[in-house]
Structure 1
């Protein structure tokens, strides 16, 4: 592994993990094969038994400044702990089941040559989660409205990139692979009211980050993401969480016009139909149940299935 030149921003890699030693091992193996050595790699362990400690110990000597960092359980909490510990100019957040390619880190940092760039990401290659209307489906063109791909609708839903090979400015990043200038990220931080799995915390973070400068999407910088946790979820409970968290983030980050609220309600209907088309009856039921009883104002979905945290201030 080659050390980075002084003119290139230094990089901290933060991996939040919870009881998944096998994927974490593969993630660290991939980082060890990188053509650019990050300044440090922080494995932020939310497991009370600190199960990632042995994985980190096995990789010491192969990675520069690899550290095991204990933290309270919860994705947003763990990422904030890593952010507070980071010493690099740029911080890269990786899921523990992501594998970078040898040139990923080096090519990602090229985005930061432009001083107004505050964040950067690339193409996340992962197994298809749906038969119909997946994240790369052209059906999404019908739902994006007048805005361009890579931005948010007035209702707070992301307009996914249909062409993932492009290089462009965007307003949201996928949490499996997202980076930011550390100084700006510390001003934005992750919302710890979004607990547990942290559904849509990445969209919330990058939405607020995009208001501080440009976020670059590099379609020719791919990573592999197993997305293992998604398939293991209780689909009905996950449907509840989707409505609760999206309601919270919509009310937190976007103006509450009558037309925006109508579009938000319409998108919930579209999500229910989408689940049914993909034969996810439990997921559709969870969405419909939570939409029917959705409180005002919304609160994020807690680990025990209840709303967590205080009501957000309205913009």
Structure 2
């Protein structure tokens, strides 16, 4: 028998089309682990898009309901291909990283936010734990955290922000319109979510909400090598400042924070972070800035 709550969810589903886009490279196992959490949502997604480079990125036995889009690698390009495929036919677009595990009520809670607050154009959810900061979180541990810490009727606790966290963000499709991720930021596209938010902010409110939750596992496999990331840590903020999607103060703090962290950690380097590579990339980026030759796309030349 359908409860009153389930009836409300069903009614919302009839009116809202939610597309989930996952951009992935070389993480077949993580995709295989993520998909059941998408198809067991209390409010099922209208469409699930997997944007990859080649067949080797796709796990065996993938559900037929998953739409596969293939093209050249690069987070921004892969996300844009996903956007192009659904932007004119859905109401909400959700981006999850391939190593993110959402709570079962996440999609329903996302829709509730956009339905209740028409002025909100984008939202980032609550990350219960982030493995990026601790060398990764095992899948079983992530599931336990989601099951034990997420709650079925969480308080909204909505806060206005000026950026998004790309591992767990939702966008109002109508507000996105012609806005796309900047493909000048190649590979992992460091700060691409901040840049996208900077473009979207003129359309309405961007918020952080505790209502949709999950765990970012922070899997190390498939991430940008140390020297390349170190280059992006210096060059990308300057590029975004010049573009107008990042304030100069935030850009400066971000650059200095990463340079200091990378060099201080050279003394006691974490086993899961290539601080030497990052420091090397920092110096190459600084040299390119001083010589007027910095360009985010030059990350592809860094060894």
TM-score, normalised by the number of residues in structure 1: 0.74
Does the Cα contact within 8 Å between 1:84 and 1:186 map onto a contact in 2?
no
2:84 is matched with which residue?
84
The residue that corresponds to 2:52 in the other structure is 45
Distance 2:76 2:85 in 1: 14
Give a deviation string over 1:115-170, Cα, whole Å, max 9, x none.
Answer: 11111120223125279xxxxxxxxxxxxxxxxxxxxxxxxxxxxxxxxx952111
Contact 2:130 2:217 in 1 (8 A): yes
Matching residue of 2:200: 209
Could you tell me how far apart the structure 1 residues matched to 2:196 and 2:108 are? 23
The C-alpha deviation readout for 1:64-109, integer Å capped at 9, x for no partner, is: x421122232211111111111132111111111111111111112
Unaligned runs of 5+ in 1: 132-164, 307-315
- Name the structure 2 match of 1:309: none
Q: What does residue 122 of structure 1 align with?
A: 125
**Structure-2 change in CA distance of 1:4 and 1:301 (3 Å):** farther
> 2:97, 2:167 within 8 Å by CA — same for their partners in 1?
yes
Any stretches of 5+ residues in structure 2 without a counterpart? Answer: 1-5, 136-155, 267-274
Alpha carbons of structure 1 residues 166 and 236: separation in structure 2 relative to 1, 3 Å: farther
Equivalent-residue separation in structure 2 for 1:235 and 1:54 (angstroms):
27
- Residue 252 of structure 1 and its aligned partner are, at CA, apart by 0.6
Partner of 2:286: 291
Q: Which residue is 1:145 aligned to?
A: none
1:237 has 2:228 as partner: yes
Structure (1/2) with the larger helix percentage: 2
- Residue deviations 1:204-241, cap 9 Å, x none? 11111112111121124221112224795432332112
Q: CA 1:120–1:276 in 2, change beyond 3 Å: closer, same or farther?
A: same
Distance 1:17 1:105 in 2: 20
2:62 corresponds in structure 1 to 58
The count of aligned residue pairs is 262
Deviation at 1:14, TM superposition (A): 0.7
Q: Post-superposition shift, 1:3?
A: 4.7
Give the C-alpha shift of residue 297 in structure 1. 7.0
Which residue, out of 1, 12, 15, partners 1:5? 12
Deviation of 1:276 (Å): 2.8
> Structure 2: how far apart are the matches of 1:266 and 1:217?
22
Query: Could you list the per-position Cα deviations for residues 251-301 of structure 1 after superposition, in whole angstroms to 9, with x for gaps in the alignment?
Result: 111599xxx47x755653332222233333442342133213315374223
1-structure distance, mates of 2:14, 2:39: 22
Q: Secondary structure at the match of 1:293?
A: helix
The reply on whether 1:16 has 2:35 as its aligned counterpart is no
User: Please, which of 32, 36, 53 is the counterpart of residue 29 of structure 1?
Assistant: 36
Say whether 1:304 aligns with 2:300.
yes
Query: What SS does the aligned partner of 1:12 have?
Result: strand
User: Mean alpha-carbon deviation: is it higher for 201-210 or for 213-222?
Assistant: 213-222
Q: Which residue of 2 aligns with 1:109?
A: 111
Q: 1:225, 1:29 → 2: CA distance?
A: 16
Alpha carbon RMSD of aligned pairs, Å?
Answer: 2.8
In the TM superposition, 1:129-144 aligns within 5 A as 129=133
Give the structure-2-normalised TM-score: 0.76
Tell me which residue corresponds to 1:96.
98
CA separation of 1:265/1:99 partners in 2, compared to 1, >3 Å: closer, same or farther?
closer
